[in-house]
C-alpha cells in the first residue's frame, strides 16, 4: 500500500480496516426499516429509546472524566474506547427517538433540561476513586448487556440492529470491568478493601435498574422492549461468579450509601426525570458549547 502523501492516506476510502472509525464508516442502521411496528405506540418507543440512549450518553461522559486519571495509560485508552462505544450507542438511540419525535440527536443531547433526561440515577453518579468507577461500570454494563442481548429480538427493527451492534461492544466492556474487579478484589489487602467498599456502596443503587417503568411494561408486552425485572436472575449470576473469584461474595452492603434524588420512592427516579445533583453538573459541562452558540454547527 503506497500513497503520494499523508493526506491521501488519511482520505483513502478503500482500506478502512486500518481505522476504528474510518473515513468511509458505514452507517450501522443503513437499510434497516424505520417504520414503527404495528400496534406500538410511537411515543412509548421514543421514550424507551431515550431511556437507553440517556443511560449510555451520561455514563459515557462520566467515563471521559477519567481520561488522564486512570492508573495506567492502557486503562485510559480502554476507558476512552468504552466511552466512545457508549457514545455511539447513545447517538443511534437518540437518532431513533428523534425519528419519532421529529428532532435531531443534537436537540436531544444538548437542548433538553435535567428533568427531561431519562437515564437511571446510577449512570450519573460521580466516582471517588478508581475502584468506585470499576464497581459502577461493572454493574451497569452487566445489566445493559443482559438487556441488549434480549433486545436483538425486538419487533422494532432499528432497536434490534442497535442492540446487535451493542452486544459485541458491551461484552468487551463487561469483561474489562470484571477483570479489574477480580484484580483488585483478589489483590493486596488494601486493594481488596477498596474494592469491597466500592461494591458494597454501589449495590443499594442497583434497585432502580430492575424496576419496570410503565413504558417498559407496555412495550415489553408488544415484543419491542425488555422488562428489566426479568434481567435480575442473569445479572445476579454474573455478579456472583465475578465477585466469588474476587473474594467479595457475599456483598456486605454499606449502610446509607445509596445515591437517590430527594423524594425518590420505589417506582420513581431517573426514568421519570427525577435525578441527583450529579446530572446537573454533567449537563452544564456537556451542553455548554451548544447553549452558548445556539444553532451552531460543528
pLDDT band of residue 48 (cuts 50, 70, 90) is very high
pLDDT value, residue 253: 66
- Span 236-253, pLDDT tens digits: 999 999 999 999 999 876
Alpha carbons 91 and 132: distance in angstroms, whole number: 26
pLDDT value, residue 79: 96
Do 252 and 243 touch, CB atoms closer than 8 A?
no
pLDDT value, residue 240: 95
In degrees, to the nearest 5, what angle opens at C-alpha 162 toward C-alphas 108 and 64? Answer: 60
pLDDT value, residue 268: 60
Does a structural domain hold residue 5? no
Alpha carbons 49 and 29: distance in angstroms, whole number: 15
Query: Which range marks the domain in which residue 145 is found?
Result: 39-284
Does a structural domain hold residue 110? yes
Residue 116, domain CATH: 1.20.1260.10
Q: Please tell me the least confidently modeled range out of 3-17, 249-263, 273-287.
A: 3-17
pLDDT value, residue 21: 37
* Count of domains forming the chain: 1
Does a structural domain hold residue 219? yes
Does a structural domain hold residue 234? yes
Q: Which residues, including other chains, have CB under 8 Å from residue 103's CB and lie 6 or more apart?
A: none
Does a structural domain hold residue 32? no
The overall average pLDDT reported for the chain is: 88
Percentage of the residues of the chain whose pLDDT score is greater than 90: 77
Question: Is there a cis peptide before residue 250, judged by omega within 30 degrees of 0?
Answer: yes
- Span 91-129, pLDDT tens digits: 999 999 999 999 999 999 999 999 999 999 999 999 999
Does a structural domain hold residue 34? no
Does a structural domain hold residue 126? yes
Does a structural domain hold residue 14? no
Amino acid at each position: 500500500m503506497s500513497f503520494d502523501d499523508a493526506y491521501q492516506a488519511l482520505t483513502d476510502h478503500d482500506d478502512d480496516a486500518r481505522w476504528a472509525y474510518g473515513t468511509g464508516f458505514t452507517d450501522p442502521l443503513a437499510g434497516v426499516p424505520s417504520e414503527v411496528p404495528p400496534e406500538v405506540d410511537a411515543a412509548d418507543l421514543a421514550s424507551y429509546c431515550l431511556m437507553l440512549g440517556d443511560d449510555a450518553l451520561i455514563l459515557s461522559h462520566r467515563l471521559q472524566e477519567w481520561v488522564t486519571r486512570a492508573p495506567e495509560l492502557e486503562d485510559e485508552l480502554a476507558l476512552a474506547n468504552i466511552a466512545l462505544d457508549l457514545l455511539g450507542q447513545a447517538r443511534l438511540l437518540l437518532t431513533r427517538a428523534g425519528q419519532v419525535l421529529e428532532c435531531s440527536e443534537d436537540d436531544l443531547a444538548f437542548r433538553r433540561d435535567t428533568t427531561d433526561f431519562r437515564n437511571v440515577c446510577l449512570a450519573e453518579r460521580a466516582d471517588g476513586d478508581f475502584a468506585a468507577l470499576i464497581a459502577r461500570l461493572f454493574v451497569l454494563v452487566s445489566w445493559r448487556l443482559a438487556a441488549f442481548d434480549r433486545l436483538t429480538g425486538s419487533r422494532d427493527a432499528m432497536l434490534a440492529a442497535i442492540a446487535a451492534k451493542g452486544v459485541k461492544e458491551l461484552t468487551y466492556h463487561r469483561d474489562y470491568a470484571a477483570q479489574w474487579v477480580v484484580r483488585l478484589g483478589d489483590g493486596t489487602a488494601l486493594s481488596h478493601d477498596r474494592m469491597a467498599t466500592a461494591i458494597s456502596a454501589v449495590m443499594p443503587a442497583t434497585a432502580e435498574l430492575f424496576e419496570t417503568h410503565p413504558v417498559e411494561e407496555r412495550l415489553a408486552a408488544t415484543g419491542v422492549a425488555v422488562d428489566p425485572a426479568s434481567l435480575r436472575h442473569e445479572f445476579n449470576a454474573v455478579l456472583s461468579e465475578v465477585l466469588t473469584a474476587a473474594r467479595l461474595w457475599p456483598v456486605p452492603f454499606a449502610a446509607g450509601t445509596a445515591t437517590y434524588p430527594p423524594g425518590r420512592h420505589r417506582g420513581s427516579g431517573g426514568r421519570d426525570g427525577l435525578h441527583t445533583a450529579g446530572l446537573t453538573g454533567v449537563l452544564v459541562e456537556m451542553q455548554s458549547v451548544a447553549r452558548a452558540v445556539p444553532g451552531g454547527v460543528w
